[in-house]
Amino acid sequence: MSEKQAALEALRRETEAALSTLLTPDQTQVVFGEGNPDAPLMLVGEAPGPQEDREGRPFVGKSGQLLERVLTELGLDRSRDVWISNVVKVWPTRRQGRSLRTRPPNAAERQASWPFFEREVRLIRPKALLLLGGTAAKAVLGRSAVRMRDIRGKWLETPFGIPALVTYHPSYILRMQGMRPDEAERLLAEFRADVRAAAERAGLLAPIHTETTDAGAE
Ligand code: URA
């Protein structure tokens, strides 16, 4: 085990011990990041959902499947090429009748998770961050509000000194698929382009050059 892997393992144990105080009988476990610790690209989501809570791994539910599909289409592998994590490390739940639903993480969950997320980023030291959705964007960029239509697809500075690209959360694309399939197709194309751009910036993919021909010149 490399020094970095050992440090990450120690951080995982510390994170689990500290954040298990947030768990209620409704949640199973704290969900730490996973992937290649030496990956040049880190994907950052919001918080685990029900399946992530059960399995103890980030992005293994429906959102994760969409993310993995796009990575695969681009020739990328989630365990080889990226580190995947969340800014909040416990499943935020609310009761609706007898069932448990996912809600946006509250301030207590965000604040308790932040120091561990911060240390995780500093240990991984990726070349680029891809921020999936508004919650990840606000947390990492240190803003109280973001407008996705203004910041999506743009490279932004972060306090980590690592450039970040903001894109949609896959769950937003999935929700849209059920409501407005045409719009969902557009979002998915933009999402794919953003994942590609982030992978290019991280050096995982060669940039696509579009040849410009000077058709009018003699
Ligand atoms: N949504 C997230 O933001 N993170 C996960 O790990 C799963 C779903």
Distance CA 72, CA 69 (A): 5
Is pLDDT at 217 greater than 90 in this prediction? no
Query: Which residue among 31, 52, 90 is best mutated to probe the pocket of ligand 1, counting the most ligand atoms within 8 A of its Cβ?
Result: 52
What's the gap in Å between 29 CA and the centre of ligand 1? 14
Q: Over range 107-125, report the average pLDDT.
A: 98
- Cβ(35) – ligand 1 distance below 6 Å: no
Is pLDDT at 215 greater than 60 in this prediction? no
Torsion of CA 101, 103, 105, 107, to 10 degrees: -120
- Cβ(52) – ligand 1 distance below 6 Å: yes
Residues 6+ apart with CB under 8 A from 77: 71
Quote the pLDDT of residue 214: 58
Residue with tokens 């698929």: 177
- Cβ(45) – ligand 1 distance below 6 Å: yes
Question: Mean pLDDT, the chain, as a whole number?
Answer: 96
Is pLDDT at 218 greater than 50 in this prediction? no
Sign of CA dihedral 46, 49, 53, 55: negative
- Cβ(61) – ligand 1 distance below 6 Å: yes
- Cβ(49) – ligand 1 distance below 6 Å: yes
Q: What are the pLDDT digits (tens) for 70-100? A: 999 999 999 999 999 999 999 999 999 999 9
Instruction: Name beta bridge partners: 155.
Output: 165
Residue with tokens 């120091």: 115
Q: Which atom of ligand 1 lies closest to the CA of 46?
A: 3
User: Which position has the higher pLDDT, 163 or 215?
Assistant: 163
Q: What are the pLDDT digits (tens) for 23-45? A: 999 999 999 999 999 999 999 99
Q: What are the pLDDT digits (tens) for 40-67? A: 999 999 999 999 999 999 999 999 999 9
Other Cβ atoms within 10 Å of 96 Cβ, number: 9
Residue with tokens 């239509």: 149
Structural domains of the chain ordered from first start: 3-201 (3.40.470.10)
Quote the pLDDT of residue 209: 72
SS3 127: coil
Give 153's DSSP letter. T
User: What φ, ψ does residue 178 adopt, rounded to 5°?
Assistant: -80, -15
Q: How does residue 208 score in pLDDT terms, banded at 50, 70 and 90?
A: confident
Q: Nearest CA to 195 among 73, 86, 87, 85?
A: 73
Q: Nearest CA to 48 among 70, 23, 11?
A: 23
Distance CA 112, CA 140 (A): 14
